[in-house]
Amino acid sequence: MAARGQATALVETETGFDDRLRHLANMPGRYYMEKWRTGDEEKVTSFACRIQRISPQTMSLSAPVGGDVGDWVTAHFDEFGVLRGQITRALGFGFVISLKMRDHERARLASKILWFERRRNYEVSELRRHRRIVPRNPQSIVILADGTTMPCFVINMSISGAAVSANVDARVGTPMALGTVVGKVLRILDPGFALQFTETLDIDDLESRLIRSQTPV
């Protein structure tokens, strides 16, 4: 209750909520464009994403499939729940969303943001419990067997494989390269798919080998 009261006092003004409370979140989630949904579809395709910055008013996402200004987006995050809004600006690998919610929902979001911002001060000393690594920059490319390149979102990676989200028809056994590393689809995830590399990488080389924004030579 105290955190919510402090957050509400911080973000509310005479004209409503402003953008002074911000958090560099770097939190994974999933999203879909509402224009992808039609009455005939049983399930709309979703993709992995990551919050880069969030405030009670706006949210910027790293995302493999973009949209147009004005498109409605629905995203889900374990920490913040379901967030909905319209794209206001396209980024190089993602977009900025203006969040649409009621005032009490915005106040609740503000209190969560404030809590995570305070908690971040204690996260520096935490040890990683899993060998799977979340890349600092999730933007990369996959190269299909016919040479086609597609932007992708690297959910996490290890010395033997990676979890990837991309707008490709991936099936178990499909060969493809992530960055400069060749592999094949091991299993289908929700969302995305898991790649198994044909070689085991050095852990110090993961980002340099897997994270590529342009076609490798």
Quick check: is 176 in a domain? Answer: yes
Percent of the chain with pLDDT over 90: 42
Quick check: is 35 in a domain? Answer: yes
The per-residue pLDDT of the chain, averaged, comes to 81
Write phi, then psi, for 213 (nearest 5 degrees): -95, -10
Whether 67 and 112 share a structural domain: yes
H/E stretch holding 95: strand 94-99
Whether 115 and 149 share a structural domain: no
Give per-residue pLDDT as tens, 174-194. Answer: 999 999 999 999 999 888 899
Q: Which domain holds residue 113?
A: 2-122
Whether 96 and 163 share a structural domain: no
Quick check: is 216 in a domain? Answer: no
Is the pLDDT higher at 57 or at 191? 57
Read off the DSSP letter of residue 165: E
Quick check: is 131 in a domain? Answer: no
H/E stretch holding 36: none
Whether 108 and 148 share a structural domain: no
pLDDT confidence band for 2 (50 / 70 / 90): very low
CATH number at residue 157: 2.40.10
Structure tokens at 116: 């995570």
Whether 158 and 193 share a structural domain: yes
Has residue 208 got a pLDDT over 50?
yes
Quick check: is 181 in a domain? Answer: yes
Read off the DSSP letter of residue 34: G
Q: For the ranges 37-51, 78-92, 105-119, 123-137, which has the lowest average pLDDT?
A: 123-137
Q: Which of 54, 87, 122 is the last residue of a domain?
A: 122
What sign does the CA torsion over 76, 78, 81, 84 have?
Answer: negative
Write phi, then psi, for 53 (nearest 5 degrees): -150, 140
Distance between CA atoms of residues 39 and 90, nearest Å = 27
Structure tokens at 204: 């110090």
Distance between CA atoms of residues 166 and 174, nearest Å = 14
Q: How many domains does the structure of the chain reveal?
A: 2
Q: Is the CB of residue 200 less than 8 Å from the CB of residue 129?
A: no
pLDDT confidence band for 41 (50 / 70 / 90): low
Quick check: is 97 in a domain? Answer: yes
Quick check: is 129 in a domain? Answer: no
| pLDDT value for 215 | 52
Whether 118 and 21 share a structural domain: yes
Q: Which residues are 131's β-sheet partners?
A: none
Give per-residue pLDDT as tens, 102-152. Answer: 988 998 888 888 887 776 654 433 333 336 788 888 899 999 999 999 999
Distance between CA atoms of residues 61 and 195, nearest Å = 23
Quick check: is 73 in a domain? Answer: yes
